[in-house]
A and B are shown apart, each in its own frame.
Chain A
Protein backbone atom coordinates (compact mmCIF):
# COMPACT_ATOMS: atom_id res chain seq x y z
CA UNK A 1 0.00 0.00 0.00
CA UNK A 2 1.21 3.50 -0.83
CA UNK A 3 1.09 6.38 1.60
CA UNK A 4 -2.26 7.99 0.92
CA UNK A 5 -3.34 10.55 3.47
CA UNK A 6 -6.85 10.51 2.02
CA UNK A 7 -7.12 6.83 2.88
CA UNK A 8 -5.96 7.53 6.41
CA UNK A 9 -8.67 10.18 6.68
CA UNK A 10 -11.33 7.72 5.54
CA UNK A 11 -9.93 5.17 7.97
CA UNK A 12 -10.06 7.72 10.77
CA UNK A 13 -13.75 8.28 10.07
CA UNK A 14 -14.41 4.54 9.79
CA UNK A 15 -15.39 4.84 6.16
CA UNK A 16 -13.15 2.08 4.83
CA UNK A 17 -14.32 -1.39 3.87
CA UNK A 18 -13.24 -4.43 5.93
CA UNK A 19 -10.39 -5.41 3.65
CA UNK A 20 -9.15 -1.84 3.28
CA UNK A 21 -9.28 -1.34 7.03
CA UNK A 22 -6.96 -4.29 7.57
CA UNK A 23 -4.56 -3.05 4.89
CA UNK A 24 -4.43 0.43 6.39
CA UNK A 25 -3.99 -0.91 9.91
CA UNK A 26 -0.99 -2.97 8.93
CA UNK A 27 0.41 -0.09 6.85
CA UNK A 28 0.10 2.21 9.85
CA UNK A 29 2.15 -0.19 11.92
CA UNK A 30 5.08 -0.05 9.60
CA UNK A 31 4.94 3.51 8.22
CA UNK A 32 6.02 6.29 10.61
CA UNK A 33 4.86 9.01 8.19
CA UNK A 34 1.29 7.79 8.06
CA UNK A 35 1.39 7.10 11.78
CA UNK A 36 2.36 10.69 12.44
CA UNK A 37 -0.37 11.90 10.13
CA UNK A 38 -2.92 9.74 11.91
CA UNK A 39 -1.96 10.96 15.39
CA UNK A 40 -1.96 14.55 14.25
CA UNK A 41 -5.41 13.98 12.85
CA UNK A 42 -6.59 12.63 16.19
CA UNK A 43 -5.05 15.63 17.97
CA UNK A 44 -6.69 18.05 15.63
CA UNK A 45 -10.13 16.60 16.08
CA UNK A 46 -9.82 16.25 19.82
CA UNK A 47 -8.92 19.93 20.02
CA UNK A 48 -11.77 20.81 17.70
CA UNK A 49 -14.22 18.85 19.84
CA UNK A 50 -13.12 20.75 22.95
CA UNK A 51 -14.30 24.00 21.49
CA UNK A 52 -16.69 26.13 23.43
CA UNK A 53 -20.25 25.53 22.40
CA UNK A 54 -22.50 28.41 21.49
CA UNK A 55 -25.51 28.49 23.80
CA UNK A 56 -29.04 29.55 22.98
CA UNK A 57 -31.16 31.50 25.42
CA UNK A 58 -34.32 29.92 26.91
CA UNK A 59 -36.27 32.80 25.51
CA UNK A 60 -35.11 31.99 22.01
CA UNK A 61 -36.03 28.32 22.15
CA UNK A 62 -39.45 29.33 23.51
CA UNK A 63 -39.86 31.53 20.46
CA UNK A 64 -38.91 28.69 18.12
CA UNK A 65 -41.33 26.34 19.81
CA UNK A 66 -44.21 28.78 19.44
CA UNK A 67 -43.46 29.16 15.72
CA UNK A 68 -43.36 25.42 15.30
CA UNK A 69 -46.70 24.94 17.08
CA UNK A 70 -48.18 27.41 14.60
CA UNK A 71 -46.64 25.53 11.71
CA UNK A 72 -48.05 22.25 13.03
CA UNK A 73 -51.53 23.76 13.28
CA UNK A 74 -51.31 25.08 9.73
CA UNK A 75 -50.17 21.71 8.49
CA UNK A 76 -53.11 20.04 10.15
CA UNK A 77 -55.56 22.26 8.26
CA UNK A 78 -53.72 21.77 5.00
CA UNK A 79 -53.33 18.07 5.66
CA UNK A 80 -57.10 17.56 6.00
CA UNK A 81 -58.31 15.70 2.89
CA UNK A 82 -60.61 18.59 1.87
CA UNK A 83 -58.30 19.70 -0.91
CA UNK A 84 -58.08 16.24 -2.43
CA UNK A 85 -61.80 15.78 -2.02
CA UNK A 86 -62.50 19.07 -3.80
CA UNK A 87 -60.17 18.26 -6.69
CA UNK A 88 -61.80 14.88 -7.13
CA UNK A 89 -65.25 16.49 -7.11
CA UNK A 90 -64.14 19.09 -9.67
CA UNK A 91 -62.79 16.43 -12.02
CA UNK A 92 -65.96 14.41 -11.73
CA UNK A 93 -68.09 17.50 -12.38
CA UNK A 94 -66.15 18.50 -15.49
CA UNK A 95 -66.33 14.94 -16.80
CA UNK A 96 -70.08 14.96 -16.43
CA UNK A 97 -70.30 18.32 -18.20
CA UNK A 98 -68.16 17.27 -21.14
CA UNK A 99 -69.61 13.81 -21.46
CA UNK A 100 -71.74 14.58 -24.58
CA UNK A 101 -68.56 15.62 -26.38
CA UNK A 102 -66.68 12.53 -25.38
CA UNK A 103 -68.98 10.09 -27.12
CA UNK A 104 -66.74 7.57 -28.74
CA UNK A 105 -67.26 6.29 -32.24
CA UNK A 106 -67.35 2.54 -31.92
CA UNK A 107 -65.40 1.94 -35.13
CA UNK A 108 -62.55 4.35 -34.67
CA UNK A 109 -62.66 4.67 -30.91
CA UNK A 110 -61.96 8.38 -31.29
CA UNK A 111 -63.98 11.24 -29.77
CA UNK A 112 -66.68 12.58 -32.02
CA UNK A 113 -65.75 16.13 -32.87
CA UNK A 114 -64.75 17.52 -36.23
CA UNK A 115 -61.24 18.63 -37.01
CA UNK A 116 -58.06 18.83 -35.08
CA UNK A 117 -54.92 19.90 -36.86
CA UNK A 118 -51.81 18.99 -35.05
CA UNK A 119 -48.25 18.11 -35.87
CA UNK A 120 -48.98 18.71 -39.54
CA UNK A 121 -51.71 16.08 -39.62
CA UNK A 122 -55.42 16.70 -39.98
CA UNK A 123 -57.88 14.47 -38.20
CA UNK A 124 -61.47 14.57 -39.27
CA UNK A 125 -64.21 13.22 -37.08
CA UNK A 126 -67.94 13.23 -37.35
CA UNK A 127 -69.69 15.47 -34.86
CA UNK A 128 -72.20 18.24 -34.38
CA UNK A 129 -70.64 21.59 -35.10
CA UNK A 130 -73.46 23.56 -33.56
CA UNK A 131 -73.02 21.81 -30.30
CA UNK A 132 -69.30 22.51 -30.47
CA UNK A 133 -69.93 26.19 -31.14
CA UNK A 134 -72.15 26.40 -28.14
CA UNK A 135 -69.62 24.69 -25.99
CA UNK A 136 -66.38 26.34 -27.00
CA UNK A 137 -65.00 26.06 -23.51
CA UNK A 138 -65.92 22.47 -23.20
CA UNK A 139 -64.37 21.79 -26.54
CA UNK A 140 -61.13 23.12 -25.25
CA UNK A 141 -61.24 20.84 -22.29
CA UNK A 142 -62.08 17.89 -24.43
CA UNK A 143 -59.24 18.72 -26.74
CA UNK A 144 -56.80 18.84 -23.87
CA UNK A 145 -57.79 15.40 -22.89
CA UNK A 146 -57.74 14.31 -26.49
CA UNK A 147 -54.23 15.64 -26.91
CA UNK A 148 -52.99 14.01 -23.78
CA UNK A 149 -54.53 10.77 -24.80
CA UNK A 150 -53.47 10.54 -28.41
CA UNK A 151 -50.26 12.45 -28.66
CA UNK A 152 -48.66 11.66 -25.31
CA UNK A 153 -46.51 14.75 -25.27
CA UNK A 154 -43.53 14.55 -22.96
CA UNK A 155 -44.44 17.69 -21.12
CA UNK A 156 -47.99 18.46 -20.17
CA UNK A 157 -47.34 22.19 -20.03
CA UNK A 158 -45.90 22.29 -23.53
CA UNK A 159 -48.82 20.41 -24.93
CA UNK A 160 -51.23 22.82 -23.28
CA UNK A 161 -49.45 25.85 -24.72
CA UNK A 162 -49.27 24.47 -28.22
CA UNK A 163 -52.79 23.22 -27.91
CA UNK A 164 -54.02 26.67 -26.95
CA UNK A 165 -52.58 28.02 -30.20
CA UNK A 166 -54.06 25.19 -32.18
CA UNK A 167 -57.40 25.59 -30.47
CA UNK A 168 -57.47 29.25 -31.53
CA UNK A 169 -56.88 28.28 -35.13
CA UNK A 170 -59.41 25.52 -34.80
CA UNK A 171 -62.06 27.87 -33.51
CA UNK A 172 -61.34 30.36 -36.28
CA UNK A 173 -61.97 27.56 -38.70
CA UNK A 174 -65.22 26.80 -36.98
CA UNK A 175 -66.30 30.40 -37.63
CA UNK A 176 -65.34 30.21 -41.31
CA UNK A 177 -68.03 29.76 -43.99
CA UNK A 178 -66.67 26.32 -44.76
CA UNK A 179 -68.51 24.96 -41.76
Chain B
Protein backbone atom coordinates (compact mmCIF):
# COMPACT_ATOMS: atom_id res chain seq x y z
CA UNK B 1 0.00 0.00 0.00
CA UNK B 2 1.44 3.40 -0.89
CA UNK B 3 2.01 6.33 1.43
CA UNK B 4 -0.99 8.46 0.49
CA UNK B 5 -3.33 5.47 0.76
CA UNK B 6 -1.90 4.70 4.18
CA UNK B 7 -2.32 8.30 5.26
CA UNK B 8 -5.92 8.16 4.23
CA UNK B 9 -6.38 4.85 6.02
CA UNK B 10 -4.88 6.23 9.24
CA UNK B 11 -7.13 9.27 9.11
CA UNK B 12 -10.20 7.15 8.60
CA UNK B 13 -9.18 4.90 11.48
CA UNK B 14 -8.68 7.95 13.65
CA UNK B 15 -12.20 9.00 12.73
CA UNK B 16 -13.44 5.58 13.81
CA UNK B 17 -14.65 4.37 10.40
CA UNK B 18 -15.52 0.71 10.40
CA UNK B 19 -14.73 0.26 6.73
CA UNK B 20 -11.22 1.42 7.47
CA UNK B 21 -10.95 -1.45 9.95
CA UNK B 22 -11.87 -3.90 7.18
CA UNK B 23 -9.24 -2.38 4.95
CA UNK B 24 -6.63 -2.47 7.68
CA UNK B 25 -7.24 -6.13 8.43
CA UNK B 26 -7.50 -7.22 4.80
CA UNK B 27 -4.33 -5.41 3.79
CA UNK B 28 -2.09 -6.24 6.68
CA UNK B 29 -3.21 -9.41 8.42
CA UNK B 30 -1.05 -11.59 6.18
CA UNK B 31 2.12 -9.59 6.69
CA UNK B 32 1.64 -9.25 10.44
CA UNK B 33 0.60 -12.85 10.93
CA UNK B 34 3.67 -14.06 9.10
CA UNK B 35 5.89 -11.84 11.20
CA UNK B 36 4.37 -13.03 14.45
CA UNK B 37 4.35 -16.65 13.36
CA UNK B 38 8.05 -16.62 12.50
CA UNK B 39 8.73 -15.51 16.04
CA UNK B 40 6.31 -17.65 17.93
CA UNK B 41 6.11 -20.74 15.70
CA UNK B 42 2.72 -21.69 17.01
CA UNK B 43 -0.38 -21.08 14.98
CA UNK B 44 -2.81 -20.56 17.84
CA UNK B 45 -0.57 -18.31 19.84
CA UNK B 46 0.15 -16.33 16.68
CA UNK B 47 -3.55 -15.84 16.06
CA UNK B 48 -4.04 -14.50 19.58
CA UNK B 49 -1.09 -12.20 19.20
CA UNK B 50 -2.31 -10.99 15.82
CA UNK B 51 -5.62 -10.05 17.37
CA UNK B 52 -3.83 -8.24 20.19
CA UNK B 53 -1.66 -6.45 17.63
CA UNK B 54 -4.67 -5.09 15.78
CA UNK B 55 -6.24 -4.05 19.07
CA UNK B 56 -3.12 -2.11 19.97
CA UNK B 57 -3.02 -0.52 16.56
CA UNK B 58 -6.57 0.71 17.00
CA UNK B 59 -5.95 1.86 20.56
CA UNK B 60 -2.83 3.74 19.60
CA UNK B 61 -3.91 5.02 16.24
CA UNK B 62 -4.37 8.53 17.60
CA UNK B 63 -0.79 8.63 18.80
CA UNK B 64 0.59 7.50 15.46
CA UNK B 65 2.74 10.23 14.00
CA UNK B 66 3.60 10.28 10.40
CA UNK B 67 7.34 10.13 10.90
CA UNK B 68 8.05 6.59 9.86
CA UNK B 69 6.21 4.23 7.56
CA UNK B 70 2.87 3.02 8.84
CA UNK B 71 3.93 -0.55 8.08
CA UNK B 72 7.04 -0.33 10.25
CA UNK B 73 5.01 1.21 13.04
CA UNK B 74 2.63 -1.76 12.93
CA UNK B 75 5.48 -4.25 12.60
CA UNK B 76 7.08 -2.76 15.68
CA UNK B 77 3.90 -3.28 17.65
CA UNK B 78 3.60 -6.87 16.43
CA UNK B 79 7.26 -7.69 17.01
CA UNK B 80 7.12 -6.13 20.42
CA UNK B 81 4.16 -8.25 21.42
CA UNK B 82 5.76 -11.38 19.99
CA UNK B 83 9.02 -10.74 21.86
CA UNK B 84 7.19 -10.04 25.12
CA UNK B 85 5.20 -13.19 24.63
CA UNK B 86 8.30 -15.29 24.07
CA UNK B 87 9.96 -13.78 27.09
CA UNK B 88 6.97 -14.67 29.24
CA UNK B 89 6.59 -18.23 28.00
CA UNK B 90 9.70 -20.22 28.76
CA UNK B 91 10.79 -21.53 25.43
CA UNK B 92 8.69 -24.49 24.52
CA UNK B 93 9.64 -27.22 22.08
CA UNK B 94 9.12 -26.29 18.46
CA UNK B 95 6.39 -28.34 16.92
CA UNK B 96 5.07 -26.19 14.21
CA UNK B 97 5.41 -27.03 10.60
CA UNK B 98 3.03 -29.95 10.29
CA UNK B 99 0.02 -28.19 11.69
CA UNK B 100 0.48 -25.16 9.51
CA UNK B 101 -1.90 -24.50 6.69
CA UNK B 102 0.22 -23.02 3.91
CA UNK B 103 0.03 -21.71 0.39
CA UNK B 104 2.03 -23.76 -2.08
CA UNK B 105 5.00 -21.88 -3.49
CA UNK B 106 4.70 -21.38 -7.22
CA UNK B 107 6.89 -21.71 -10.25
CA UNK B 108 8.67 -25.05 -9.92
CA UNK B 109 7.18 -27.83 -12.03
CA UNK B 110 9.96 -30.34 -11.94
CA UNK B 111 9.16 -32.72 -9.05
CA UNK B 112 12.83 -33.29 -8.24
CA UNK B 113 13.67 -29.60 -7.99
CA UNK B 114 10.40 -29.01 -6.20
CA UNK B 115 11.43 -31.56 -3.65
CA UNK B 116 14.88 -30.00 -3.30
CA UNK B 117 13.43 -26.56 -2.95
CA UNK B 118 10.93 -27.68 -0.34
CA UNK B 119 13.66 -29.40 1.57
CA UNK B 120 15.86 -26.30 1.45
CA UNK B 121 13.04 -24.11 2.64
CA UNK B 122 12.03 -26.37 5.42
CA UNK B 123 15.65 -26.75 6.54
CA UNK B 124 16.15 -23.02 6.47
CA UNK B 125 13.03 -22.51 8.52
CA UNK B 126 14.27 -25.02 11.04
CA UNK B 127 17.71 -23.46 11.02
CA UNK B 128 16.23 -20.07 11.81
CA UNK B 129 14.10 -21.59 14.53
CA UNK B 130 17.17 -23.15 16.09
CA UNK B 131 19.24 -19.95 16.17
CA UNK B 132 20.06 -18.64 19.63
CA UNK B 133 17.19 -16.41 20.70
CA UNK B 134 19.11 -13.13 20.50
CA UNK B 135 20.28 -13.84 16.97
CA UNK B 136 16.87 -15.05 15.85
CA UNK B 137 15.29 -11.93 17.25
CA UNK B 138 17.59 -9.62 15.27
CA UNK B 139 17.26 -11.72 12.12
CA UNK B 140 13.46 -11.67 12.26
CA UNK B 141 13.19 -8.02 13.20
CA UNK B 142 15.33 -7.17 10.20
CA UNK B 143 13.96 -9.66 7.72
CA UNK B 144 10.31 -9.98 8.68
CA UNK B 145 9.54 -6.73 10.45
CA UNK B 146 11.78 -4.72 8.12
CA UNK B 147 13.24 -2.66 10.97
CA UNK B 148 16.55 -0.94 10.38
CA UNK B 149 19.50 -1.89 12.58
CA UNK B 150 19.11 1.42 14.35
CA UNK B 151 15.48 0.67 15.12
CA UNK B 152 16.38 -2.86 16.20
CA UNK B 153 19.05 -1.58 18.56
CA UNK B 154 16.54 0.81 20.11
CA UNK B 155 13.93 -1.89 20.34
CA UNK B 156 16.29 -4.30 22.11
CA UNK B 157 18.23 -1.73 24.09
CA UNK B 158 21.61 -2.73 22.65
CA UNK B 159 24.13 -0.88 20.50
CA UNK B 160 23.91 -0.95 16.72
CA UNK B 161 27.18 -2.88 16.66
CA UNK B 162 25.77 -5.56 18.93
CA UNK B 163 22.69 -5.88 16.75
CA UNK B 164 24.88 -6.11 13.66
CA UNK B 165 27.18 -8.69 15.16
CA UNK B 166 24.19 -10.84 16.20
CA UNK B 167 22.92 -10.59 12.65
CA UNK B 168 26.33 -11.54 11.36
CA UNK B 169 26.45 -14.69 13.50
CA UNK B 170 22.94 -15.59 12.45
CA UNK B 171 23.74 -15.13 8.77
CA UNK B 172 26.91 -17.20 9.03
CA UNK B 173 25.05 -20.09 10.65
CA UNK B 174 22.24 -19.98 8.13
CA UNK B 175 24.66 -19.83 5.21
CA UNK B 176 26.35 -22.93 6.57
CA UNK B 177 23.01 -24.71 6.71
CA UNK B 178 22.23 -23.72 3.12
CA UNK B 179 25.63 -24.85 1.88
CA UNK B 180 25.13 -28.22 3.50
CA UNK B 181 22.00 -28.87 1.47
CA UNK B 182 23.12 -27.38 -1.84
CA UNK B 183 26.82 -28.10 -2.29
Contacts and interface: CB of A to CB of B under 8 A. Distances in A.
Interface residues of A, number: 33
A64 B143 contact: no
Given A9-B171, A69-B21, A72-B16, A53 B34 contact: yes
A65 B103 CA distance: 23
A44 B171 contact: yes
A19 B47 CA distance: 44
A41 interface: yes
Interface stretch (B1-9, B49-57, B86-94): B49-57
Interface stretch (A54-62, A139-147, A156-164): A54-62
Contacts, number: 110
Interface string B67-90: 000000000000000000000000
A50 B113 CA distance: 14
Interface in B81-114: 100-105
B164 A6 contact: yes
Contact of B34 (A47, A54, A60, A65): A54
B66 interface: no
B23 to A, nearest CB: 10
Residue in A63, A68, A69, A71 with the greatest tally of chain B CB atoms within 10 Å: A68
Contact of B16 (A15, A56, A67, A76): A76
B104 A52 contact: yes
A71 B55 contact: yes
B18 interface: yes
A131 to B, nearest CB: 46
B148 interface: yes
Contact of B51 (A40, A51, A67): A67
Given A6-B161, A48-B128, 5 more contacts: A41-B171, A44-B178, A51-B121, A65-B25, A68-B25
20 contacts: A6-B161, A9-B164, A10-B149, A13-B142, A15-B149, A41-B171, A43-B178, A44-B171, A47-B121, A51-B124, A52-B121, A53-B30, A54-B33, A54-B37, A54-B46, A54-B101, A55-B102, A56-B30, A67-B54, A75-B16
Interface of A: 5-6, 9-10, 13, 15, 40-41, 43-45, 47-48, 50-57, 60-61, 63-65, 67-69, 71-72, 75-76
